[in-house]
Amino acid sequence: LAEKNDPAAGTARAGLLRALLITGQYEKVEELANRFLNDHPHEQVLDLLLGKSCQLRGKFSEARQAFEKALRGNSSIQDEAQLNLALLFETMGQIPESRAHFSEVLERVMAHGGGRLGLAAIAATHLERFRHANDLFKKATQENPHDLDPWIWTAWGNLLLEKYNPAEAASVFADVLKVNPNYPEALLGLALCHGEDRGAEVQEILKKVLEINPNLEEAHAFLAGNALESEAFDKGTQEIESCLKVNSKSLKALSLKATLYYAQGQEKEFQVQIQEILSLNSHFGEVYLDLASYCVTQRLYKESTEFFKRAIEVNPRLWTAYSGLGINLLRLGEEQAAKQVLEKAYQNDPFNVWTFNTLRLMDSYQNFDALKTPNFALRVHKKESKLLENYVPALLEEAYQTLSSKFKFYPIKPIYFEMFADHEDFAVRTLGVPGLGALGVCFGRGVVMDSPSARAKGTFNWGSTLWHEFAHVITLGMTGHRVPRWFTEGISVMEEHKARPGWGNDLTLENVKALQEKTLLSISDLNSGFIRPKFPGQVQQSYFQAGQACEFIEKEFGFAKILEMLQLFKGRHSLEDTLKQALNLSPSEFDQRFNAYLESLYGNTLKAVDFKLLEKKEVLEDHAKLENLVTDQPDNFFANLKLAGYYRKEGQLEKAVACLNKAKSVFPSYVESDNPYKQLGEIYRQQNRLADAIAELQALTQRNDHDFDSLKQLAQWLNEVGKPEEARQILQDAMYIDPFEPQSHQLLAELCLKHKDLPLALREYRALLALDPSDKADAHFNVANVLLQMGKKSEAKKEVLAALEIAPGFEPAQELLLKVVE
């Protein structure tokens, strides 16, 4: 490496320094670069690499000197040196200088051509000429794919990722990794392409990244951001300090440190940190963008809008801040202001899918009807508003009266409520992009959710979802949105359970497995199960755990402690302080007592559910072996359930009944399609034991909130045995699953009319009319008939005339008209 005039030695020196940069050995780069420059002062590439290392360590003055020295003369690295100088000026907030240098690089490369198109593409990116930049990257990779620097390829991937094209970005990063499988920035880019997914694959990638370059600022910042969102503040602090140890002027790390101070309520330290950041770069609006993004994850939507506004004040060209501001203004119900901001965001950054989708959704609002109640302003799609107005407003008002009275908190009116017939529209309203798995979301000031038509029948209970989300309106409002995610979700699940039998999360096979394998999170880490799940199904598992935790608190300490904890969280007390003050427990003591509580509830089920049996086909498919197993293990849930199936096929119904009753007794909350309740109901019906069949379906529907067919069957059976009052209640419950089936409305209307429950009969006949029946004349007639019996002659007259307009010869309507005009 020391041969003064050997070109190969010069290449080797530069190659060594580049390799050391890739692996994060920045101090070593400076040491060697300075030593090499003593012997080779005119090797400008050494100055370039020295400058890069200095910049990565926050030594901006030294970096500038090195880049400017590398610029002198007409060497082959002049463009790269000037580009890096421009990047340095941008980091320092010297925007006019940075743009001037970016422009020079772009113009010079475009004028002279050659193999530096990738550098021109990076310059175009920072000049916000994104389409031009993408074209240049494409051309660069086509003309010189083998010699292209991985740094340039990675910059292309980052551009695609920044402009909301993760699929193509992942392809670019994969191409980089074909050339260098250990290029850390490309590996990190690949992890970022997973979006909100923070599962095992992403964790493995990040682990590999930091093994290659333990000083990579972007990787530590990514991990720190994740930790702060999950309120893992110790972990976040550790990652932030890892950045600052290498680069004390890391704007991203300092920005996250400001977010950490804000999250922990350290106002003085927060303000000092903000001033330090803006003294380094007065245009660094990203610090407020980070704060706004954190607030969104914590449901602090009002605070987020203030930070988005500050981000725009500091950097008026920070278009992501405009998009975030618009979306969150919409969440606060400020539609006009939201649209103005979003339109400006779209004009300047048409690539932003969140902006585009939200504007498109707002344009679709013309297809919605507005409904009002004493406490709510509703928006429901025109195609189903006439039907849903019979059910949704009443349940909202019931939830308001019940929960406001219970929690002694009355939200500011009107509370907005939006129901979407298209699930993807709901997802856009919630996140800005399609693909959300949730059923409903609360923004504090309002609720948005799927309508019953947005999902397949029998997959969810919209009434339960509505109740759950309104409970969030209460808990978020009571605490100024300072309630931990697990606590507000747990209270919502608990209140679902109290609202109607069967509503809310119950023990499932997945939950049994989690309890058996002890994979439930500690109470200190439970938020992460909602915000950053590590495996599929962890969110649902966390809902179950949170609901159980709140029920445990209420049963063991009383509901007053729930209210006390909400007030403590409002006062920004930590979880540890809150548990200590309210329950006199540390987090670890809480976990210990909570786990004992779960064992007392579900211990027998955990022993009875043997998942290993499902892997033993030789037993499951052999009748005799199953019988032997049940003899040895009489409480084995799966063995009893499977054996019952064999007995049913063979006609040995009493043996099947015995197995099903045993399965039901050891795992009573199992309500999948082959559940014991339904099978027993079928057997009893077959044996003409209708009372027993009814009892089984009653037990099933008390545990399953979305089995519409069982509710419908139960109502029919109850009507058959002369229990119309119970049948009516069951049919009303069915409307919270599927209000679009005419037969259920017809039966409920007839039962109500027969037993003189005229208001409910009127509701059901109006619902039938809203379903656009084939015989509209009869539908109008039925509505008119009930109205007349209620003494509402003028309304009855309108309906009967509507019937006669459709069918002038309809004799019952003619007769009813005579009664109306008497």
Looking at residues 583-594, what average pLDDT do you find? 98
In the block, tokens 């040196």 appear at 81
**494-499: long-range contacts at Cβ-Cβ below 8 A with a sequence spacing of 24 or more?**
494/547, 494/550, 494/551, 494/554, 495/403, 495/467, 495/468, 495/471, 496/464, 496/467, 496/468, 496/471, 496/547, 497/547, 497/551, 499/399, 499/402, 499/464, 499/467
Pairing of strands 368-372, 446-450: unpaired
338-358 pLDDT, tens digit each: 999 999 999 999 999 999 999
Q: What is the mean pLDDT of residues 138-154?
A: 83
Cis peptide before 773 (omega within 30 of 0): no
| 485 vs 458, more confident | 485
Which region, left, alpha or beta, applies to residue 502 given φ > 0 means left and ψ of -120 to 50 means alpha?
left
Between CA 361 and CA 418 the distance in angstroms is 12
The predicted structure's pLDDT at residue 146 = 64
For 489-505, what is the mean pLDDT?
A: 95
What does residue 746 show for φ and ψ, rounded to 5 degrees? -60, -45
B/e letters for 646-669, b = 16+ CB within 10 Å, e = fewer, are bbbeeeebebbbbbbebbbebbbb
User: Residue 75: its pLDDT value, please?
Assistant: 72
**Can you tell me whether residue 450 is helix, strand or coil?**
strand
Q: What dihedral angle (degrees, nearest 10) is formed by the CA atoms of 404, 408, 414, 419?
A: -30
Does the structure show a pLDDT above 70 at 433? no
pLDDT at 434: 59
Helix (H) or strand (E) holding 418: strand 415-420
Q: What was the pLDDT predicted at 282?
A: 97
For range 608-626, the mean pLDDT: 94
Per-residue pLDDT, 399: 98
Least Cα distance to 201 among 210, 191, 216, 212 occurs for 191
What pLDDT score does 112 carry?
A: 82
Which residue segments constitute the domains of the chain, with CATH numbers given?
A: 7-228 (1.25.40.10), 365-481 (3.40.30.160), 519-600 (no CATH)
Q: Hey, which residues does 378 pair with through a beta bridge?
A: 371, 417
Please give the pLDDT value at position 114.
Answer: 62
pLDDT exceeds cutoff 60 at 250: yes
The answer to whether the beta carbons of residues 345 and 337 sit under 8 Å apart is no
Q: How high is the pLDDT of residue 427?
A: 84
Q: Is the pLDDT of residue 6 over 80?
A: no
Q: Rounded to an integer, what distance in angstroms lies between the CA atom of residue 407 and that of residue 563?
A: 7
What confidence score (pLDDT) does residue 76 get? Answer: 78
Determine the average pLDDT of the residues in 182-187: 97
Question: Has residue 602 got a pLDDT over 60?
Answer: yes
pLDDT of residue 3: 53
For the chain, give me the number of helices (H) and strands (E)?
45, 5
pLDDT given at position 115: 66
Per-residue model confidence as pLDDT tens digits over 720-739 = 999 999 999 999 999 999 99
**Neighbouring-strand partners of residue 446:** 416
Whether 784 contacts 761, CB under 8 Å: no
- Residue 654: per-residue pLDDT: 97
Per the prediction, the chain carries an average pLDDT of 94
With a cut of 90, say whether residue 822 has pLDDT above it.
Answer: no
147 — pLDDT class (breaks 50, 70, 90): low
Continuous segment of H or E residues that includes residue 273 = helix 267-280
Q: What is the pLDDT of residues 16-44, one digit of tens each?
A: 999 999 999 999 999 999 999 999 988 89
Beta partners for 447? 417, 442
* Cα angle 178, 149, 119; round to 5: 135
**Mean pLDDT, range 686-697, rounded to an integer:** 97
Distance separating alpha carbons of residues 172 and 168, to the nearest angstrom:
6
User: Cβ atoms within 10 A of the Cβ of 131, count?
Assistant: 11
CA distance 177 to 8: 26
Is the pLDDT confidence value at 324 over 70? yes
Model confidence at 436, pLDDT cuts 50, 70, 90, reads low
CA 221 to chain centre: 22
CA distance 390 to 765: 10
pLDDT of the residue at 4: 55
Please report which confidence band the pLDDT of residue 141 belongs to, taking 50, 70 and 90 as the band edges: confident
Q: Which residues pair with 372 in a beta bridge?
A: 377
Q: What is the rounded average pLDDT of the residues 146-150?
A: 76
In sign, the C-alpha dihedral spanning 253, 255, 259, 262 is: positive
**Helix, strand, coil percent values for the chain (each to nearest 5):** 70, 5, 25
Contact 187, 209 (CB under 8 A): yes
Is it the case that residue 497 has pLDDT exceeding 80?
A: yes
Q: Is the pLDDT of residue 197 over 90?
A: no
Mean pLDDT of 477-494: 97
The SS3 call for residue 797 is helix
Enter the tokens of residue 222. 């990514």
* CB-CB neighbours of 41 under 10 Å: 11
Which residue blocks in 633-689 are alpha helix, DSSP H?
Answer: 637-650, 653-666, 676-686
- Tens digit of each residue's pLDDT (9 = 90 or more) over 793-813: 999 999 999 999 999 999 999
